[in-house]
Structure 1
């Protein structure tokens, strides 16, 4: 970073701290409106600042060191209505607030056990429903989170529709814990989260909290890079109907309808959504055909809430996951031909490669598609047992089933456990075929939390979950050029292939995941102490035959203890400092067990996460600065080797780390202009790494972790020349990423700067509550860039190495135009 940039950030922080200079105090006393008794434990916030306090035993809180100005005091208490009171502060002032009993328990209680607050010593960011809606015109959830710190996104088909991915602090989806209403979303075996199975899910999301690093204890897979805590729709008091329609480049279409009854008979509400998204994709034949739904019904009582959610999606996506060879991007015909020979491309595939461009897709078979359907069932119950004690429980079940279909050119019979056949007296050992690889799984369990607040600064939460996964993995040959068995007659003049249903492998897996945690926080004067301990037990069993015909039968179990501790110091009503330490452990994923000989059992990973930061809030500034050190033991990293189908292999390394600084700020000096910016700098290293390429081993004393850029930055400049209209420039910079763990620039992704423009107009019209038009022009300056990729290679001799790099080109300039009608 340049000296000017550092000076600019220093000046920005200086100005922000100046905003928080102490001047006056506000004393807030809280009573019950029905009897005027003091209400200890009432939560008190000062809108536009970081301050979050509790009323003491006398129902009183003092907000210190506040600049003169007009503020809104917000007072909440479980079981009572929220009260707001505006204060014109010119000197020390006393405010009295009376709270009325609430008639209904709100939905916010559902996720309170897994959420961080301003007093929690955790690095996090909240994204509201309004923030999500600004960019929600068809692209997937990772693209809607692109402006958050340390995030790098990518799309297989290039346009943000279909298979998308997201890394936070260089950590991929396998290291990011995702929950929906506190229920795990990560796949139990791969530990990844596939939002393609829930297309347009953002249209049913009320808010998201991203916790970077280990964060607080939650259910599901261990967080090694971040956590995404998603809450779905909450209560709408009034009935509504809403239509969202989008069109865009690459024949992209989105149709969404949302309906809600509002509150019926004072206790019931129902909400629903239907969505359809389709796109041809930027990459050739990178089509997506996606459908989804969301249904929710709730009973709202004064002290209890019962909600049932059913949601799911169905996707058919043409495969675009092979990537584009580097030689195709550079137009090097000789290099393309060399690659084609090494990879065994057919004449048709070679012609496709030579005559394509950066939108190249290797696959030519009409039905080279991924097909999957997933449905989630959730039953959530919350109850305020007393003013101090809250219970949350949930039952869940997820059903998933689907396959991807592949055309295979001249595969050998022996690879499928078959003997060569005899045709016209001669042996046939190879055949063209079409195969399907299936997943058929069930995931079910329950979660719980019991939260106690004593009203004078002490909070205790006990929670946990038990989840079980049962999954089938099997593969079928559904068509072949030649018969699979000799007893089937073959006549080349009349037969054009054979439909069949031969299952060449079949296996299953079961996984049980039990966890329980205890969290405690204690606030005294300006200090807030946080402690959290989680115990997690995993039992994993694999049985049967894998796709390479190996018997994979094996068992593994893990017992993890994950403690966390943190301290927050309130500098003023507007700012605080925090520091925390967390220990996390994480089990290997399925491929770590299946892609190596059974006797080479992978180890669990361990992470020591140290976080420290400064937060400041004012009416004009909203700033967070933090430093972190994520120190790994036995981290599973890419070795440079590939399995038999070209997937990357991982091995444990003894010592690795991620150390970085992050900045997240927003400046809104007036009603018509705002600037939000993030900046993340990190060093991501492995010590004593051995790269294995074929039979050659290369040693690196210290080297870079793959897909971990040193710099990630974003900026959103927003202008509102008049109230219904907004225009914004969104920018994203990502520095060089390495495709493997060697730090070799010849096997890397160039850094890129990409800009988008968003224009929106929202107004009420006639009987419409909202008439909204949003135009999103992505990559407005037509940058040709890639955001992800992979590499493979081999040695011709001990010193002569051949490498092939593959990239996922992202779309050049393109647009999405959305129309929102709300009745």
Structure 2
């Protein structure tokens, strides 16, 4: 819409290390996959690094990939808590890691920042069925390694998309389930043609009516890539994106409604002329996002390789609302006189628009030998986003014209970082890790925001983020590691809107861990101490478009221990438990209540449960059939930093059953996979997210101020299911 030249500008050139030429197609395929891994080398760590992390492979993702969003597929990793506005894991979903919100989680796709530059959030709803195009991903907890884009204060999620395939293939996948949920996916690959070229792609549609009333979702997405590979070169041109139309369910419901009608949705609610409650049928979020990347990996010799990358992302869309009895003045309109009577209000339908462009350049160089592995790089990005509102219908239109903008603003953000990280093998026992990043961020806004007030920000931040660690190999089965990492992060747009004096946040992260692996048995234990200054913690409140608000909390900390294991009980039975125990505290919390300031002392940080546990009991009686019982426990948590009773989210314990049955027919299809997922088999009634707010009421008793508390909850679905079949040929 903005510039005609929005066509594929995205390049991400990357260079790798690979051994000498191999002649067979099978070896060429392996070669391509190794080169693919270099796309994420600059933002990932290996198994021996002193960074706490978890890996998830394509095969592990596929077992439950039958319609739900990616956060739901990460639900059983350590310290992860997920949420779903619609209650069924499709549509607007999010995750928190170690209690830290999604606005503090960095997400990259092939090393390119996906986290929105302005809101600092990752909106998975814009990438429907993206899980079907993931080769593997890594979740780093805590600060992690230096990454591209905004810093990580709870986790980094580094995604690698599909690797080049050796053989031509096709895939048709369909699933159906509760709440009229369905997923339809078509994939193809030409395989490596002439041992060098491959074209692959995917088209998907996911739809659901949602557990909550009218919380419908319609997600359409695509993924297309062309690959060239030879002995030392990998070039990949990738475009992916999607469109989403989601009926909003971000209002939640209060405690009374939670008891009486858990699925009630107030979004779109209004009264007609006869006083009857009606619901506007298009109270939707309608957004499209397209990404263009071109990756080029090149190896020069056994020691040197390089990586260069460009990306272009184009996003545009709106949130539509029916509003009753709105003041003309709110929209810059003049009052009317109708039948001799002044008229200052009207019913109307409005749209709040986003229209943005995001450009990224990544470049890095890698040197390695038997003792040292050094990567140095640079990442630069430019964001240009328009925010504006339109009234598309009004009962009384005053002097408005079609396409008039009742508010109009712009935001520009430039982000430049340079880093150098190295792993040095000191001897057979010790491996040292060092990482230094310098990042400069400039954020500038102009114009009017949605409440018709001038919104002017012009801030420049320079951050220095050092990291260091050591891994000690005790023996062939045991490693110990320790690391320290410093991180700084800028506020997002909502932070500046709610508090012009908001401060950037800082974090010192200390991690101490033990990794044990003997045969198929693994056990990982780590303890962390995350010491914050001016942490931007969730306040419990939402803004007028359902986005969570944050506030600086002064001094605060998160102290915890995470344990995870893979325990093979028999050849057929495996246990995969994990548990995270933590204390998450603001050193001091001061609030105003009933007109008086109260010092509450040390309080729990909002949305930070002290216990998060998961387990998978995996039983495989025969080679081609697997059944898993997946359990998740999340302890009590508060939605505010004041530990107010009205802000409490009760603990919950859910159990799912996942079945996978594979058939390899002798003709037509190579493989047929049947998948089943029954969520919440014991029909637990629970809420994993919500909000809390207060306001002052001085009307009932003039001269006094009484603080009124309010809350809202997002109820999650009871027992529900998804059944799918995948045909591969």
TM interval, shorter chain, is over 0.9
Cα distance per residue 1:211-260 (max 9 Å; x no partner): 00000001011000000000000021111101110000011111001100
C-alpha contact 1:620 1:669 (8 A) present in aligned 2:
no
Report the secondary structure of 2:103's partner residue: helix
Matches within 5 A, 1:703-742: 703-742=603-642
Q: Judging changes above 3 Å, is the alpha-carbon distance between structure 1 residues 649 and 274 closer, same or farther for their aligned structure 2 residues? A: closer
* TM-score, length basis structure 2: 0.92
C-alpha contact 2:29 2:165 (8 A) present in aligned 1:
no
1:592: Cα distance to partner? 1.3
2:534 is aligned with 1:619: no
Report the secondary structure of 1:511's partner residue: strand
Which residue does 1:474 correspond to in 2?
388
Report the secondary structure of 1:324's partner residue: coil
Q: Judging changes above 3 Å, is the alpha-carbon distance between structure 1 residues 102 and 722 closer, same or farther for their aligned structure 2 residues? A: closer
Q: For 1:168, which of 84, 97, 103 is the aligned residue?
A: 97
2:456 is aligned with 1:588: no
CA distance in 2, matches of 1:286, 1:679: 32
Report the secondary structure of 2:37's partner residue: helix
Which residue does 1:445 correspond to in 2?
360
CA distance in 2, matches of 1:112, 1:344: 46
2:719 is aligned with 1:813: yes
C-alpha contact 1:639 1:691 (8 A) present in aligned 2:
no
Report the secondary structure of 2:461's partner residue: strand
CA distance in 2, matches of 1:819, 1:143: 20
CA distance in 2, matches of 1:582, 1:219: 16
C-alpha contact 1:696 1:795 (8 A) present in aligned 2:
no
2:316 is aligned with 1:407: no
C-alpha contact 2:101 2:538 (8 A) present in aligned 1:
no
CA distance in 2, matches of 1:794, 1:395: 47
1:618: Cα distance to partner? 1.9
1:804: Cα distance to partner? 1.9
2:677 is aligned with 1:771: no
Cα distance per residue 1:739-767 (max 9 Å; x no partner): 11111233211100011011111020122
Q: Which one has more relative contact order, counting CA pairs under 8 Å at least 6 apart?
A: 2
Gaps of 5+ in 1: 1-75, 83-98, 354-362, 489-498
Q: Judging changes above 3 Å, is the alpha-carbon distance between structure 1 residues 645 and 293 closer, same or farther for their aligned structure 2 residues? A: closer
Cα distance per residue 1:135-172 (max 9 Å; x no partner): 00000000000110000011110111111010000111
Q: For 1:655, which of 555, 572, 581 is the aligned residue?
A: 555
Which residue does 2:259 correspond to in 1?
330
CA distance in 1, matches of 2:128, 2:507: 32
* TM-score, length basis structure 1: 0.82
Q: Judging changes above 3 Å, is the alpha-carbon distance between structure 1 residues 267 and 686 closer, same or farther for their aligned structure 2 residues? A: same
Which residue does 1:802 correspond to in 2?
708
User: Which stretch shifts more, 611-620 or 638-647?
Assistant: 638-647
The total of aligned residue pairs comes to 701
Q: Judging changes above 3 Å, is the alpha-carbon distance between structure 1 residues 146 and 101 closer, same or farther for their aligned structure 2 residues? A: closer
Q: Judging changes above 3 Å, is the alpha-carbon distance between structure 1 residues 522 and 100 closer, same or farther for their aligned structure 2 residues? A: farther
CA distance in 2, matches of 1:175, 1:477: 34
Which residue does 2:108 correspond to in 1?
179
C-alpha contact 2:252 2:713 (8 A) present in aligned 1:
yes
Q: For 1:383, which of 295, 298, 303 is the aligned residue?
A: 298
CA distance in 1, matches of 2:273, 2:706: 27
Cα distance per residue 1:304-351 (max 9 Å; x no partner): 111110000000000111111111012399xx9xxx9xx998557999
1:649: Cα distance to partner? 4.0
CA distance in 1, matches of 2:17, 2:403: 62
Which residue does 1:217 correspond to in 2?
146
Report the secondary structure of 2:441's partner residue: strand
Matches within 5 A, 1:564-575: 564-575=467-478
Q: For 1:253, which of 182, 185, 202 is the aligned residue?
A: 182
User: Which stretch shifts more, 432-441 or 792-801?
Assistant: 792-801
Which residue does 2:418 correspond to in 1?
516
2:694 is aligned with 1:788: no
Report the secondary structure of 2:569's partner residue: strand
Matches within 5 A, 1:469-548: 469-485=383-399, 500-523=402-425, 524-548=427-451
Report the secondary structure of 1:106's partner residue: helix
Matches within 5 A, 1:274-313: 274-313=203-242
CA distance in 2, matches of 1:555, 1:101: 49
C-alpha contact 2:53 2:140 (8 A) present in aligned 1:
yes
Computing the radius of gyration from Cα coordinates, the structure with the larger value is 1
1:793: Cα distance to partner? 2.6
Report the secondary structure of 1:265's partner residue: coil
Gaps of 5+ in 2: 1-15, 699-703
